[in-house]
Amino acid sequence: MPASNPLDPTTLQTSGEVVTFLLGRVATSDGTALPSNVIVERVCNARVRQQVYASPNGSFSMDLGSRFGNVVDASAEGNTRQDRANKSLQNGIPRTELANCELRVAASGFRSDVLTLFARDSFSGTMDVGPIVVQRLTKIQGMTISATPYNAPKDARKHYEKGVEALKSRDDAHARQYFEKAVQIYPKFANAWFQLGRLLQKSNETAAARTAYTQATTSDTKFLPPYLSLSYFAYDAKDWPELLNLTGHILALDPLNYARVKGYILDLDSFDYAEAYFYNSAANFNLNNIDEAEKSGLKAAHLDVRPRFPQLHLLLADIFIRKHDGARAATELQTFLDLVPHASNAEELREQIANLQKPGTAPPAVAPLSNN
């Protein structure tokens, strides 16, 4: 009898090496009912690969071999030629590839446990992951919302509110006038300074925008958005000490861990912690604090699940090269190419990946990060 072909689909399915379905359920820690529109996400290598809605009773089924059905967003996967070949051959995902994946729940007002898919058993192509527990949270105070509107005089608040309404109507000219009047009446109005800074930055009045953001930080040191805006300017100017100082202030409270431990919700719609950790990683890397750069870079990658910072993976590749870890550097470069397949230096990066994957090849030295 001839030896079985390890790439034969029948052999793969029978041996359980390919997983076609993930089954499980979502449950609240206090036994209360789930909210509507609960989404279960499969995240692999810090990127959302697939999303499905849970049923009203919390059960869910994720079809790994289909692009259709209850898949909300699977566009991040299957873009490469090899991915398409694997799908055609196996109609599922090899268990070895799921080793770098995890499941979590996205539900407003809840914090989710995270289930890793490493070393979980499957039967006939189906993997039952069991329950994913979510915990009900409460709202955090400060950090992303300033208290100064409540302390401002009535006239200043009135002009600020008119400015916000003008922004909603996309009337930037009048919004700017209202915010300028608000800070004139109440110079410690951090929110008004911040909104004014955003309008000034939008109109390319960089120096004035920096001044407005600085005024906001002086007025309320716990109001973090203007610190992030100033971090953007420091990153653009390659002012690494200043960038480290600004992001250090943002992260000194360890807001994500604080919220997790205390059961709070962070207003992630108004503040981007992924960006803060990315800037902090870049500053540390360029100041030769490689271990700290790695910590912040990995946190940024974990938070940037709908990737908006592809350059983060170039930074992580440089960090791993500096740490003589060619395999992880190659993985980060490939992630960047998956996100930006038509990058101007794509061929150069593919060559670098090939060199990093050669046995016994030492990773090349790298220069400090450039943000060009």
Cβ–Cβ under 8 Å, residues 105 and 23: no
DSSP state letter for 31: -
pTM: 0.62
> Does some domain include residue 160?
no
In a domain, 251, yes or no: no
Question: What are the two backbone dihedrals, phi and then psi, of residue 93, each rounded to the nearest 5 degrees?
Answer: -125, 130
Average pLDDT over residues 135-143: 56
Answer yes or no: are the C-beta atoms of 137 and 265 closer than 8 Å: yes
Contacts for 44 with CB less than 8 Å, ≥ 6 apart = 77, 97, 98, 100, 101, 102
Which one has a higher pLDDT value, 126 or 367?
126
What confidence score (pLDDT) does residue 26 get?
93
Q: How far apart are CA 239 and CA 96, in angstroms?
A: 42
CATH number for position 21: 2.60.40.10
Question: Of 338, 360, 300, nearest to 75 (Cα)?
Answer: 338
Q: Does the pLDDT value for residue 258 go beyond 50?
A: no
What's the pLDDT band for 12 if we cut at 50, 70, 90? Answer: very low
Mean pLDDT of 343-359: 90
Domain of 93 in residue numbering reads as 17-136
pLDDT at 100: 82
Length of the chain (residues): 372
**pLDDT score at 269:** 40
- With cut-offs at 50, 70 and 90, classify the pLDDT of residue 244: very high
221 lies in some domain: no
Residue 281 or residue 71, greater confidence: 281
| Residue 67, pLDDT above cutoff 50 | no
Report yes or no on 84 lying in a domain. yes
Q: Say if 109 falls within a structural domain.
A: yes
Residue 122: both structure tokens together: 């499957």
Rg (C-alpha) for the chain, rounded Å, is 24
pLDDT > 70: what percent of the chain? 75
C-alpha–C-alpha distance, residues 23 and 62, integer Å: 7
On the CB side of 348, how many CA atoms lie within 13 Å of its CA?
A: 4
Beta strand 264-265 pairing with 39-44: unpaired
244: alpha, beta or left? (left if phi > 0; alpha if psi -120 to 50): alpha
Closest of 40, 73, 82 to residue 306, by C-alpha: 73
Domain count for the chain: 1
Please give the pLDDT value at position 240: 97
Closest CA to 21 of 60, 62, 53, 57: 62
pLDDT score for 202: 95
Chain segment 179-232, per-residue pLDDT in tens: 999 999 999 999 899 999 999 999 999 999 999 999 999 998 888 889 999 999
> Phi first, then psi: what are they for 367, rounded to 5°?
-85, 165
306 pLDDT above the threshold of 70: no
Diameter of the chain measured on Cα atoms = 90
Q: Average pLDDT over the chain, rounded to whole?
A: 79
106: pLDDT confidence band, cut at 50, 70 and 90? confident
- Is 208 domain-assigned? no
- The H-or-E segment that residue 227 falls in is helix 225-236
